[in-house]
């Protein structure tokens, strides 16, 4: 085991201590509503998404009802989440594809998810691990930042960070770990105003 792997496992132990519980931060009731919520969370806070989705899901909590709405209707509801024109087209388009190709269900293969409009690798990875319990390590900007800050990755790209983290941590821990990192970053290791001396991980490994 390399020194970096040993450090990674010690960091995981600290994450287990400080963030023992990892509820999914986006409110949802099934695979479809989580897919839409994750799509909306791009360049938007989870808090704002959770304030927006109740109105959307009250009108359309499944793909069949969603395609009954116009793209403009969807756009008006999701506008607080930003990038509304693109996101509304993606939501309407992927809902139609789910009906036409998958009988209204969300597919359980990452490559099929990535074919859907507005669904990138990170969004697909979230669905794989949080809905289908398939090991994945979704890397968002927060995890990318922490991995670089903790010197677990060179931080050149989110793709490289994902590869580095997958090598360092056991596959069985990926699904919980990515959420632990997100919650830890928000509470102890923020992007701005961060005091490394008071951070339980940076004070040791920063």
The catalytic site residues sit at 122, 140
DSSP at 43: T
User: Which of helix, strand or coil describes residue 181?
Assistant: helix
Q: Which residues contact 79 (CB under 8 A, 6 or more apart)?
A: none
Q: Which residues contact 21 (CB under 8 A, 6 or more apart)?
A: none
Residue 192: enclosing H or E segment and its boundaries?
Answer: none
User: Which of helix, strand or coil describes residue 10?
Assistant: helix
Closest C-alpha to 18, from 193, 153, 199, 143: 199
R_g over Cα of the chain: 18
Percent helix, strand and coil across the chain, each rounded to 5? 65, 0, 35
Sign of CA dihedral 153, 166, 187, 4: negative
Closest C-alpha to 147, from 156, 186, 69, 26: 156
């Amino acid at each position: 085991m390399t020194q970096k792997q040993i450090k990674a496992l010690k960091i995981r132990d600290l994450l287990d201590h400080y963030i023992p519980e990892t509820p999914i931060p986006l409110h949802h009731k099934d695979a479809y509503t989580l897919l839409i919520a994750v799509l909306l969370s791009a360049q938007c806070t989870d808090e704002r998404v959770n304030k927006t989705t109740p109105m959307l899901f009250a009108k359309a909590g499944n793909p069949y009802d969603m395609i009954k709405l116009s793209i403009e209707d969807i756009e008006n509801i999701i506008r607080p989440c930003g990038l509304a024109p693109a996101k509304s087209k993606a939501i309407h388009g992927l809902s139609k594809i789910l009906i036409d190709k998958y009988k209204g269900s969300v597919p359980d293969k990452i490559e099929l998810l990535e074919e859907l409009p507005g669904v990138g690798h990170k969004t697909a990875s979230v669905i794989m691990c949080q809905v289908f319990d398939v090991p994945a390590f979704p890397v968002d900007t927060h995890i990318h930042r922490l991995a670089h800050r903790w010197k677990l990755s060179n931080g050149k790209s989110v793709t490289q960070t994902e590869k580095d983290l997958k090598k360092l941590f056991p596959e069985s821990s990926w699904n919980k770990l990515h959420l632990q990192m997100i919650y830890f970053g928000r509470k102890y290791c923020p992007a701005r105003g961060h005091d490394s001396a008071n951070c339980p991980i940076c004070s040791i490994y920063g």
